[in-house]
Chain A
Amino acid sequence: MNVSVQQRVLKVIAEILNRKESEIRLDASLRDDLQASSLDQMTIFVALEDEFQRNMPPEEVTGLITVKDIIDFIDRKLQETTST
């Protein structure tokens, strides 16, 4: 897992949900553990698009449950772009 990606994702999630970064565990579920509403989740992905300058359309992010899922997804996204 890319540490810098992890840090940036945690920062974005903390900012959008108005929580401390230290409160956010990697295995936390956005919905069940962090109480992120569907609007919160949408906002997180819009913020992550800005942060990483990659498109993250709803159909691609629907299955992402935990913080780690998101970090892995972004890792893959970044690698896809670098390898092409």
Chain B
Amino acid sequence: MSRRVVITGAGVVSSLGMGVDEFWSQCLKGNTAVAGVPEGWPHYPQLHSRIWSPLPEIDHELLGVARAERLQLDPVAMLALGAAREAIGRAGFALASAGERSRNFIMSGVDSERVGVFFGTGLGGAITFLQNHTHHLLHEPRANLIAYVKKHDDPAGSEVLQSVIAQMVHGIRFNPFEVSMVMPNAPAAAIGIKYNLTGPNQTCCLACASGTVAVGNAFRAVRDGRVDVAVSGGCEYFADEHGHIFRSFDVSGTLVREFADPQTANRPFDEKRSGFLFSQGGAAALILEDLEHAQRRGATIMAELIGFAETFDAHSMMSLAPGGKQIERMIRSALNDANLSPDDVDYLNAHGTGTKNNDQTEAEVIQRVFGKSVRVNSTKSLLGHTIGASGAIEALVTALTLRDGKTHISRNLENPVLDLNFVRSVEPFEPRVALSQSFAFGGHNAAIVLRKYGPE
């Protein structure tokens, strides 16, 4: 059984705004959101990178997350719920309450046993883990120190003790919901529970390729007839109160180091690139649907998904294999899956992180496979790197590019690493086929192929 798979809904939460319309409008303007990281973070003076792409303040009402849910979910799952909510709404599924006093819904016009969830994340509920660990370690020593200072009324070394107490910051509790908040499958599970979706519910945990693999696996499930509809996407949230996650990327040497001008510091594919822009997080959701199912509902179709492939470098945990042999094999396999050749591709949404190694290798592969025949941009040049969300956000950009016949610039690109057909200005064109690719720590490579929707 092989069916045509179309995208009928999308949702996004990003540093460039919440909601597809705002997000796409900001992308087409070539805007970016960059700010300094909090100076109060421990080890701030030792950081090599000190900028990030912050999210707007989280509006829980807009995400559709009630107070009780906020207490039981890590922010990463809330972002996923927000993106899924918009996507399901845009896909035109009417929602009925799942019961008196329930905050959950039942999607009408679809057999819920034939709807799956395929969501990606890199670190899942890491923030909750860190918060609880801080409480676990510091709560009692801090209380003992405070009691000691109080009892001895200005003891020797009081100033030092007060300063140590001030550094021992932790949350109010050791959260009883920690396990279900931290587990990486929580975002996918939260979506399945919220909309009573009882088909397969899968979490794809492949670092920066998580979102692309999730969309790809959802595509296969719909194409093969295992489900009629899939809520697919990716999510990430990295704003822990002490900047621990930022530091872990920083110390590994992956983040942007030249940031005297924050607006131009993030420069994928440019000779002067110095690393990637750390993102506070984000999420994107795409509703994939069997074409006939979508037509019966009268759904609006954004684009069609026609191919997917994965390969693995088997080389290094943190570096792409030189030469990009497995990336090239992935591109050719994805196009083969779609019964197409490189000549058919009009637009390529690159992984384009801004690290020395990634952009050099990726550009070489693109030049080898496509020459200058494809337009290329990096969505990370606007958003920074949202890790587990990035593949899903870039799949959304690819679908919007096909739908609208225009795409965003690759920002801050002055001297390209290679002479590719990079997008320098927003101009109308007529893309029929597009490819979006992601590579991940560990060595995972994944690509999806999309086509402008039209009768075959």
**Interface residues, chain A, with chain B CB atoms under 8 Å away:** 15-19, 42-43, 46-47, 49-50, 53, 55, 58
Contact = CB atoms under 8 A, between A and B. Distances in A.
B68 A50 contact: no
Contacts of A46: 71, 173, 175-177
A80 to B, nearest CB: 15
A18 B101 contact: yes
Nearest to A56: B173
A34 B173 CA distance: 26
Contacts of B176: 42, 46, 58
Contacts, number: 34
Interface string B85-111: 000000000000000011100000000
B119 to A, nearest CB: 23
B172 interface: yes
B68 A47 contact: yes
Contacts of B68: 15-16, 18, 43, 47
Contacts of A19: 101
10 contacts: A18-B66, A18-B68, A46-B71, A46-B176, A46-B177, A49-B173, A50-B71, A50-B172, A55-B172, A58-B176
A47 B67 contact: yes
Main secondary structure of the interface of B (DSSP, over half): loop
Contacts of B263: none
Contacts of A17: 101
Interface string B6-24: 0000000000000000000
Interface residues of B, number: 13
B373 interface: no
A49 B172 contact: yes
A18 B101 CA distance: 5
A55 B173 contact: yes
Contacts of A53: 172
Contacts of B101: 17-19
Given A15-B66, A16-B67, 8 more contacts: A42-B176, A42-B177, A43-B177, A47-B67, A47-B71, A49-B173, A53-B172, A58-B176
B67 A15 contact: yes
A18 B172 contact: no
B72 interface: yes
A22 to B, nearest CB: 15
Contacts of A15: 66-68
A33 to B, nearest CB: 14
B236 to A, nearest CB: 25
Interface in B24-71: 66-68, 71
Contacts of B71: 43, 46-47, 50
A18 B103 contact: yes
The 6 closest A-B pairs by CB, nearest first: A18-B101, A16-B68, A46-B71, A42-B176, A15-B67, A43-B68
A19 B66 CA distance: 13
Contacts of A47: 67-68, 71
Contacts of A58: 176
B174 to A, nearest CB: 8
Contacts of A50: 71, 172
A55 B68 CA distance: 18
B249 to A, nearest CB: 30
Contacts of B72: 43
Nearest to A12: B67
